[in-house]
């Protein structure tokens, strides 16, 4: 039989709906619900820029059928979004927060609102007219108001949310009023068009293709090429037009024709767009946010990080552990006179990165610092270029992207010399070296002096420094690390095959995998083979999952869960029972084709029995979650898990377990 695979984009839309469902939970504090609405909207914007263009140009009937399903799912989710927001607004009203949404501005606050318009907003009211003999280029994800005038003209006004806060907030008479600046502009159209009659005003925005289109030849001078292409990214093909459903058909048709958007995905929506801005609202009510979870700071003696790591591996579970331990690792490396060399990979840095500053300090103090900077990290290219140039100016040896590959590994290697002997210390993780995002991403970081791992890591850095395309798979033969695109995919296949052999021999066979995305057909087919052989398979997949679980004769032994909570699940964990001699791996790679074959990724074994026990406990918590987890259906949709008498909330239990509180 032919194996069944769920469409990648359909699966992703089901994931994003699960984010939306979190916003619908009345048990979630109000500001956090607004934040989940914001995350959903931001996710959808990126999807429209990166994935929708592929459907726009679909030629064969099957792809067009998928494109229609994508459009229908997006439409139904946006309706659900509107109903959630309306319900939340009603709840806030009972707490004294008056969110002015789809209604007139109350007259009692109009003086303050008008003052704000004339003092601030009016400065940006640059009127443009939609007509064939004039040029108007709608910017990516920028909101405009199409004003229909009595003389059959359409005027276009920008909503300057990049210059001013999207929301105007006013406290008056014991109430908090929250208004879109969109509505403030619409309330003053008679001033802007004093000599014209106005028949309507409707918001719209466009999303543009984010593909940079870099060729192999261009990547040799990638930094300068990227800067030029980044300025052009905002000029990409329109992939989606989102418009107010109340806009008259004739006006919409004219808008599409005049702006050359006949190939775009045309989606009707509400009166407001770019609702990712909802997270910027500051609610003046108590209990609007989650109760804070203070991370645990690991104790390190006065002898320092390297002395502590030499005594045994340390495993951090972020953000339940403090990220300060990672910062201290780099800071001590920068200042320790015995440290001679620092090597690391960079995929996404914070805009104000303390780690990058530590590397600069290390280089200025005379240490050899080699940093591999991935310039092609989507939407972080400009920030990476900026830091690369700062580090290079300080004496850091910056190695730019390799043609045809992205370096997505999250690893660092420190060399320390005492008594003419060099010792190695490593940091291997599942998440980026970004202290800002580490506050709301769950990840795992291993600090180790284990030479089995670090010799492989040292060899990897030697290969990276050559900056060549990896044509020969034998150019690196790691013994302990699983490194893509060298030995990772075949190693994972071999680990699954071993479970299959145990199952065929009548032994208990089990594997548990926790990843962000499961998309690669080859790995999914191998999981189907394992299921048919009797291997019990538990998958915890946050996002895309192309595997169809629970299908008779294909995946009847596979169950898939998805967990969405206050922190974004990001850590990848791989467990194989191996007839009682279990093996554990953590890593940077999802089981996606791009991760396994077209990126440099590192998965690393966890050898310590104590740390293995920690990972076992973590997987037990997440698999048992019946509060934030859902089970995936055969078609990839989210199915509610029936809660038992004892609720199991994995992230909450993780916090209490790690901190001891």
Residues with Cβ within 8 Å of residue 492, at least 6 apart in sequence: 482, 523, 574, 591
For residue 45, name the pLDDT band (cuts at 50, 70, 90).
confident
pLDDT at position 174, please?
Answer: 93
For residue 85, name the pLDDT band (cuts at 50, 70, 90).
very high
Find the range with the poorest average confidence among 79-83, 169-173, 219-223, 453-457. 219-223
Torsion angle in degrees (nearest 10) through CA of 242, 245, 248, 250: 40
For residue 235, name the pLDDT band (cuts at 50, 70, 90).
very low
Q: Measured at the alpha carbon of residue 395, what is the angle toward residues 390 and 396, in degrees to the nearest 5?
A: 75
C-alpha distances in angstroms, 628 versus 81, 84, 516, 658?
19, 18, 16, 19
For residue 395, name the pLDDT band (cuts at 50, 70, 90).
very high
Residues 626 and 648: their CA atoms lie apart, in Å, by 5
Of 506, 589, 518, which Cα lies nearest the Cα of 558? 518
Task: Please state the rounded mean pLDDT for residues 230-248.
Answer: 70
Cβ–Cβ contacts within 10 Å for residue 533, how many? Answer: 17
pLDDT at position 209 over 70: no
> Over pLDDT 90: what percentage of the chain?
73
Residues 112 and 114: their CA atoms lie apart, in Å, by 6
Q: Which residues are catalytic?
A: 408
Q: For residue range 538-586, list pLDDT tens digits in order.
A: 999 999 999 999 999 999 999 999 999 999 999 999 999 999 999 999 9
Whether the Cβ atoms of residue 5 and residue 66 lie closer than 8 Å to each other? no
Task: Please state the rounded mean pLDDT for residues 54-59.
Answer: 56
Whether the Cβ atoms of residue 277 and residue 166 lie closer than 8 Å to each other? yes
- How does DSSP classify residue 406? E
pLDDT at position 67, please?
Answer: 82
Higher pLDDT, 377 or 251: 251
Q: For residue range 426-438, list pLDDT tens digits in order.
A: 999 999 899 999 9
Q: For residue range 461-478, list pLDDT tens digits in order.
A: 998 888 765 545 667 889
Give 331-367 as a 3 state SS string.
HHHHHCCCEEEEEEEECCCCCCCHHHHHHHHHHHCCC
Go through 192-222 and write b for each residue having 16 or more CB atoms within 10 A of its CB, e for each that does not: bbeeeeeeebbbbbbbbbbbbebeeebbeeb
Omega before residue 553 within 30° of 0, cis: no
For residue 52, name the pLDDT band (cuts at 50, 70, 90).
low
Higher pLDDT, 503 or 301: 503
Find the range with the poorest average confidence among 97-101, 162-166, 189-193, 225-229. 225-229
- How does DSSP classify residue 425? E
pLDDT at position 595, please?
Answer: 95
Residues with Cβ within 8 Å of residue 501, at least 6 apart in sequence: none
pLDDT at position 214, please?
Answer: 44
Higher pLDDT, 227 or 521: 521
pLDDT at position 454 over 60: yes
Helices 30-50 and 8-24, packing angle to 10 deg: 160
pLDDT at position 140, please?
Answer: 81
Backbone angles phi, psi at 443, to 5 degrees: -150, 170
């Amino acid at each position: 039989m032919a194996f069944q695979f769920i469409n990648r984009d359909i699966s992703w839309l089901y994931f994003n709906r699960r984010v939306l469902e979190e916003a619908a939970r009345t048990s979630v504090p109000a500001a956090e619900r607004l934040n989940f609405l914001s995350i959903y909207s931001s996710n959808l914007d990126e999807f429209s820029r990166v994935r929708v263009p592929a459907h726009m140009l679909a030629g064969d009937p099957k792809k067009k059928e998928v494109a229609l399903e994508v459009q229908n799912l997006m439409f139904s989710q946006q309706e659900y979004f509107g109903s959630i927001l309306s319900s939340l607004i009603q709840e806030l009203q009972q707490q004294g927060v008056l969110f002015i949404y789809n209604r007139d501005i109350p007259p009692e606050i109009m003086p303050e609102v008008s003052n704000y318009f004339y003092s601030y907003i009016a400065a940006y009211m640059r009127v443009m007219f939609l007509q064939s003999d004039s040029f108007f280029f709608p910017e990516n994800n920028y909101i405009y108001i199409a004003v229909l005038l009595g003389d059959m003209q359409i005027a276009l006004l920008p909503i300057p949310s990049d210059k001013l806060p999207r929301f105007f907030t006013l406290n008056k008479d014991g109430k908090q009023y929250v208004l879109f600046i969109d509505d403030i502009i619409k309330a003053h159209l008679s001033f802007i068009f004093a000599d014209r009659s106005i028949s309507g005003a409707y918001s719209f925005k466009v999303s543009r293709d984010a593909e940079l289109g870099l060729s192999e030849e261009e990547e040799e001078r990638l930094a300068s090429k990227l800067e030029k292409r980044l300025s052009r990214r905002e000029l990409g093909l329109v992939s989606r037009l989102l418009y107010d459903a109340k806009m008259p058909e004739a006006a919409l048709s004219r808008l599409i024709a005049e702006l050359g958007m006949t190939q775009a995905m045309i989606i009707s929506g509400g009166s407001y767009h770019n609702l990712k801005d909802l997270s910027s609202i500051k609610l003046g009510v108590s209990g609007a946010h989650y109760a804070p979870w203070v991370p645990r700071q690991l104790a390190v003696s006065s002898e320092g990080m390297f002395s502590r790591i030499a005594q045994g591996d340390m495993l951090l579970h972020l953000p339940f552990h403090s990220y300060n331990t990672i910062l201290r690792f780099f800071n001590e490396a920068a200042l320790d006179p015995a440290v001679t060399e620092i090597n690391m990979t960079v995929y996404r840095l914070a805009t104000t990165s303390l780690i990058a500053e530590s590397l600069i300090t290390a280089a200025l103090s005379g240490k050899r610092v080699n940093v591999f900077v991935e310039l092609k990290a989507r939407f972080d290219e400009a920030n990476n270029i900026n830091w690369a140039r700062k580090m290079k100016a300080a004496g850091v040896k910056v190695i730019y992207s390799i043609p045809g590959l992205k370096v997505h590994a999250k690893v660092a290697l420190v060399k320390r010399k005492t008594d003419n002997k060099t010792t190695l210390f490593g940091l291997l993780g599942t998440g980026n070296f970004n202290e800002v995002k580490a506050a709301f991403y769950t990840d795992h970081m291993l600090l180790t002096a284990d030479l089995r791992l670090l010799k492989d890591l040292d060899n990897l850095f030697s290969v990276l420094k050559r900056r060549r395309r990896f044509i020969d798979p034998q150019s690196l033969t790691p013994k302990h690390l699983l490194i893509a695109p060298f030995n990772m995919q075949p190693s994972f296949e071999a680990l699954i095959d071993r479970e299959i052999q145990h199952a065929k021999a009548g032994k208990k066979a089990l594997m548990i995998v926790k990843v962000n995305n499961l998309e690669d057909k080859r790995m999914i087919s191998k999981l189907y083979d394992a299921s048919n052989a009797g291997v019990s398979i538990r998958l915890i997949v946050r996002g895309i999952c192309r595997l169809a679980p629970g299908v008779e004769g294909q995946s009847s032994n596979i169950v898939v869960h998805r967990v969405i909570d206050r922190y974004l699940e990001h850590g990848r964990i791989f467990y194989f029972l191996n007839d009682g001699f279990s093996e554990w791996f953590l890593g940077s790679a999802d089981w996606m084709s791009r991760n396994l074959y077209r990126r440099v990724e590192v998965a690393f074994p966890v050898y310590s029995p104590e740390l293995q026990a920690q990972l076992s406990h973590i997987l037990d918590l997440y698999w048992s979650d019946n509060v934030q987890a859902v089970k995936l259906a055969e078609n990839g949709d989210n199915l509610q898990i029936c809660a038992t008498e004892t609720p199991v909330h994995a992230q909450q239990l993780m916090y209490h377990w790690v901190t001891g509180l």
